């Protein structure tokens, strides 16, 4: 028994010692993992900010497309400014005057840009280019939709129209800023028919008018016409109903037609033709048994 007791004591002591060592081992393992996780962070080298910016900038570049320098957008903007300047001036301008207005002296050495601007202006639909202007240097002027600047030209243009489409005042105003004053005067003289906007009463469309078609009536006839009293709307409605006429603003009541049911008559069944006449003496006749 003494030997067994000694083994039991030694076993219990080993278990207690193992239990005492377990928290220390856990802390040791945790410390090792923490230290191992901190080693790469301390060993890593900081990335320079210049490399990050360079990578971000490189990601925005599309190498399959040409570089976006903004030249095309810039030159078309200059074309719009040049046309507006020619429109406001109202006189032919040299190309050097246009370049000076656009402040393009810094591009004087860029002959490709200057020649492209000149070519676009020469071919533009709103620009009139005269190669013989300014002693052969060439001039540019604004080309309006209608080259009309006087009352006579306006009346002649309207009278030469083959249709009654009229003309837009907005298009006339592009080449003739003060066209509305002339339109108002011609309207008073009875030479134009004008439609106006309800909001600001500005002229919108114009047509030619023939003053000879305007009829003048005597004052006596006007007085007789004005004395005629127009009947009241309710009185007109009552008179129409008395005459059996339905007013247009009253819904008509349509009576439904009575449905007549037609009985279907069953047609008698027709018998086929007798074709076996050669056996009249052999076969029996049962036709009298038909219902």
Give the model's pLDDT for residue 94: 92
**How much is the pTM?**
0.44
In this structure, the dihedral spanned by the alpha carbons of residues 19, 23, 24 and 27, taken in order and rounded to 10 degrees, is 160
Give the residue range(s) of CATH 1.10.10 domains in the chain. 75-142, 151-213
Architecture of the 75-142 domain:
Orthogonal Bundle (1.10)
In sequence order, what DSSP letters do the residues of 36-49 get, joined into one string? HHHHHHHHSPPPPH
- Whole-angstrom distance, CA of residue 184 vs CA of residue 192: 9
**Token pair of 171, please?**
């298009």
Three-class SS state of 201: coil
Three-class SS state of 21: helix
**Token pair of 204, please?**
């919108």
Three-class SS state of 196: strand
Per-residue pLDDT tens over the stretch 117-151:
999 999 998 898 998 888 888 999 998 888 888 99
Asked: is 151-213 a CATH 1.20.1250 domain? The reply is no
**Token pair of 28, please?**
């040791």
**Token pair of 122, please?**
């020469």
The residues facing 255 across adjacent strands are none
Q: What is the mean pLDDT of each run of 10 residues along the chain (291 residues)?
A: 67 68 49 45 50 52 51 76 88 90 82 88 90 89 88 90 86 88 90 90 90 83 90 86 77 71 74 70 75 62
* CA angle centred on 33, ends 31 and 39, rounded to 5°: 100
- Whole-angstrom distance, CA of residue 199 vs CA of residue 219: 35
- Exposure letters 183-204 (e unless 16+ CB within 10 A, then b): beebbeeebbbbeeeeeeeebe
- Exposure letters 68-105 (e unless 16+ CB within 10 A, then b): eeeeeeebeebbeebbebbbeeeebbebebbbeebebe
- Whole-angstrom distance, CA of residue 85 vs CA of residue 99: 11
Per residue, the 3-state secondary structure of 113-148, as one string, reads HHHHHHHHHHHCCCEEEECCCCCCCCEEEECCCCCC
- Whole-angstrom distance, CA of residue 186 vs CA of residue 203: 12
- Whole-angstrom distance, CA of residue 79 vs CA of residue 69: 18
Burial, 1: exposed, middle or buried (Cβ in 10 Å; 0-12, 13-18, 19+)? Answer: exposed
Give the model's pLDDT for residue 6: 74
């Amino acid at each position: 028994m003494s030997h067994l007791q000694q083994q039991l004591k030694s076993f219990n002591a080993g278990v207690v010692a193992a239990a005492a060592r377990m928290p220390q081992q856990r802390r040791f393992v945790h410390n090792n993992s923490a230290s191992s996780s901190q080693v790469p962070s301390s060993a890593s080298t900081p990335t320079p900010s210049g490399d990050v910016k360079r990578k971000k900038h490189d990601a925005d570049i599309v190498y399959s497309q040409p570089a976006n320098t903004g030249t095309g957008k810039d030159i078309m903007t200059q074309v719009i400014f040049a046309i507006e300047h020619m429109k406001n001036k109202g006189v032919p301008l040299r190309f050097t005057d246009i370049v000076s207005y656009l402040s393009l002296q810094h591009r004087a050495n860029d002959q490709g840009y200057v020649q492209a601007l000149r070519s676009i202006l020469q071919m533009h639909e709103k620009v009139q280019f005269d190669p013989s202007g300014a002693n052969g240097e060439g001039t540019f002027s604004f080309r309006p939709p209608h080259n009309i600047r006087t009352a006579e030209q306006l009346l002649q243009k309207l009278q030469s129209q083959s249709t009654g489409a009229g003309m837009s005042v907005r298009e006339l105003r592009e080449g003739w800023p003060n066209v509305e004053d002339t339109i108002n005067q011609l309207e008073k003289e009875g030479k134009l028919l004008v439609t106006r906007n309800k909001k600001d009463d500005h002229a919108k469309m114009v047509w030619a008018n023939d003053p000879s078609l305007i009829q003048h009536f005597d004052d006596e006839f006007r007085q007789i016409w004005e004395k005629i009293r127009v009947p009241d709307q309710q009185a007109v409605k009552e008179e129409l109903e008395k005459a059996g006429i339905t007013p247009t603003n009253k819904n008509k009541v349509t009576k439904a037609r009575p449905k007549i049911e037609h009985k279907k008559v069953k047609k008698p069944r027709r018998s086929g033709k007798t074709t076996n006449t050669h056996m009249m003496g052999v076969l029996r006749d049962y036709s009298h048994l038909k219902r």
